[in-house]
Amino acid sequence: MNRSLCVQVAVALVVTGKSANADRCDDLRIFKRVGVTIDASSIQPAGKMSMPNAMGAPSEASVPSFCRVRATLRPSADSDIKIEVWLPEQWNTKLLAVGNGGWSGAIPQSAMVPGVHRGYAVTGTDTGHAGSALDGSFAYKHPEKLIDFGWRAVHEMTITAKALIDAYYTPALTRSYWHGCSSGGKQGLKEAQKFPSDYDGIIAGAPAIPWTRLSAASLAAGLATLPVDSPRYLSREKLEFVNKAVVAACDKHDGVEDGLLEDPRACTFDIGALQCRPNQSMECLSSEQIDAVQKIYKPVRNSRTNEYLFAGFAKGSEFAWSMLVGGPKPLSISNDHYRFVVFHNPDWNFETLDFDKDIARADEIDAKGAQLNAADPNLDAFRRHGGKVLMYHGWADGLIPAQNSIDYFEAVWTRDDPQKSAAKLTRLQQDVRLFMVPGMGHCSGGPGPDQFDAITALEQWVERGIAPDSLIASGKTAKGMERTRRLCVYPKIATYAGKGDPDDADAFVCR
């Protein structure tokens, strides 16, 4: 091309506002794949982008320039899966998929923003329906939509995103990563179990597994305290009172008094000490309330066989139980599972739940149908693929008991070696690592440091073979001061070294 023609082309591009990237982005509108319709494909300019936040409210986020692709996937006659794929101009040759929360009725755009800033091609899905993350009514008499939610939407999204990347970029895709918490953590583990070659590394925070039993355990917490006019009801104020008493009694177990329980399992505080004395009603609990708290701490078991069904909540998480026990009804995520999936009855009453029969029924229905559960400890194929799983869970999680993640990790360990030897643990930790986060609530929040860079740790592990022995989490104290804490690879626990600033991660060692 001669110089004059080059100038003419450059001027034309300026006049039309187009670039080579814009042309390639436009070309994706004719992308062809069975069951895939490209709804829109255009350049999203750098700057502010409007999107809903995690709660669905309008918000804005700063983004770099990228090609924004919106598509609809229809792997079944009743499927209507929406996805987005964001293809940045400065691409790092990797894919990052982000997970959802609850019943997952929207594309998690706000969770996609950090990844595109890091140069990732990023993708997310609404899992096949539109609606609140608390609303499971979409599943009523729509078994294909339930399958989409359970696993198919994520897998189909992954395949489509990789195909779009291949069509858009000249360099080949080098790595694929998953990052999700809660339902998103479950989605990541489901991918590892069912489609082991989809991802090279998976971050699974507070995974909602097994879904059917988690739903029952959430209802059990509601049954322990509701209705709100019963003597066993626990108001937000009562929960905060219990939490302060528990933390005050057990705070020093890790060697320093800092408002955090490093390992709540070591807390032996007897909640019965808070029972009201005669004529006392403030700063105490009634016998019925004490019984309710103890039920929430305890695992859910089959009353006939004593079979362990699901973990109880950790001490120190009481302040975060309000969504489960605050009423007037139980958590709708869990209630809707039994109403719309198990019993196919919108009028089903949670008070009729039979823990001895109905949980087994829910497990059986799920195994034959949607396969929402993702508690299979068989990660062999994923590990042979070279995949790595980085799990984390906040000890103060008030929606999904922290012990649930420990249970899954130890199930994988036991599958490797029923004796759970140290040698097999070392081998397992080459591929799977769990980090427990003191004071962190459900995925974030709570009094503990809750910000840490799991993505960089996973990249180093997958790409360079450097497994993370610890993560550094940051946050603020109750007085607003900056604080960092070392998160240790389970089963090690961060312990104060005996000197140094207790708000500095360097003052702790993993033991």
Alpha carbon distances (Å) from 488 to 189, 203, 435, 508: 21, 16, 6, 10
Q: Kindly report which listed range (119-133, 173-187, 233-247, 496-510) carries the lowest average pLDDT score.
A: 496-510
Q: For residue 176, what are the contacts with CB-CB under 8 A and spacing of at least 6?
A: 94, 95, 97, 158, 162, 198, 199, 200, 201
Burial of residue 256 (CB within 10 Å: 0-12, 13-18, 19+) is: buried
Least confident residue range of 76-85, 104-113, 278-287: 278-287
Q: What is the pLDDT of residue 11?
A: 33
pLDDT value of residue 18: 40
Q: Over 50: is that where the pLDDT of 87 sits?
A: yes
How far apart are the C-alpha atoms of 327 and 130, rounded to whole Å? 25
Share of the chain above pLDDT 90, in %: 88
Q: What is the pLDDT of residue 21?
A: 81
Write the pLDDT tens digit of every residue in 134-164. Answer: 999 999 999 999 999 999 999 999 999 999 9
Q: Mapped to the 3 state alphabet, what secondary structure does 168-190 carry? A: HCCCCCCEEEEEEECHHHHHHHH
Distances (CA, A) of 297 to 54, 249, 270, 398, 401: 29, 16, 12, 11, 9
Which pLDDT score is estimated for 13?
32
Active-site residue identified among 218, 254, 442, 470: 442
Bridge partners, 70 (sequence order)? 40, 84
Strand partners, 475: 483
Instruction: Return d(Cα 489, Cα 99) in angstroms, integer.
Output: 23
Could you tell me the pTM of the whole model? 0.94
Q: Choose, from 182, 183, 218, 405, the residue flagged as catalytic.
A: 182
Catalytic, 397? Answer yes
Least confident span in 54-63, 236-245, 317-326, 356-365:
54-63
Q: What share of the chain is helix, strand, coil (3-state, %, to 5)?
A: 40, 20, 40
Q: What is the mean pLDDT of residues 214-238?
A: 95
Confidence band for 20, pLDDT divided at 50, 70 and 90: low
Residues 6+ apart with CB under 8 A from 85: 68, 69, 71, 121, 122, 123, 160, 161, 164, 165
Query: What's at 380, amino acid-wise?
Result: D
Q: Is 47 helix (H, G, I), strand (E, B) or coil?
A: strand
Distance CA 317, CA 184 (A): 21
Question: What does DSSP say about strands 432-437 and 388-394: parallel, antiparallel, or unpaired?
Answer: parallel
**Local confidence band at 201 (pLDDT 50, 70, 90 cut-offs):** very high
Q: Are strands 175-181 and 94-98 parallel, antiparallel or unpaired?
A: parallel
pLDDT at 16 over 50: no
Q: How far apart are CA 420 and CA 423, in angstroms?
A: 8
Which pLDDT band holds residue 1 (cuts at 50, 70, 90)?
very low
| Burial state string for 401-424 with b = 16 or more CB within 10 A and e = fewer than 16 | bbbbbbbbbbebbeebeeeeeeeb
Sign of the C-alpha dihedral, residues 126, 130, 133, 135?
A: negative
What pLDDT does residue 255 have?
83
pLDDT score for 281: 79
Closest to 38 (Cα-Cα) out of 181, 148, 161, 133: 161
Q: Please, which pLDDT band fits residue 55 given cuts at 50, 70 and 90?
A: low
In angstroms, how far apart are the furthest CA atoms of the chain?
97
| Main-chain dihedrals φ then ψ at residue 42, nearest 5 degrees | -155, 160
DSSP letters spanning 260-301 = --S-GGG----GGGGBPPTT--SSSB-HHHHHHHHHHHSPEE
pLDDT higher than threshold 70 for residue 266: yes
Average pLDDT over residues 286-313: 96
Q: pLDDT tens, 402-428?
A: 999 999 999 999 999 999 999 999 999
pLDDT band at 54 (very low <50, low <70, confident <90, very high): low
Active site residue 182: yes
Average pLDDT over residues 11-34: 70
Catalytic residue among 126, 366, 397, 431: 397
> Mean pLDDT of all residues in the chain?
93
Which tens digits make up the pLDDT trace of 442-466? 999 999 999 999 999 999 999 999 9
Q: Is 23 a catalytic residue?
A: no
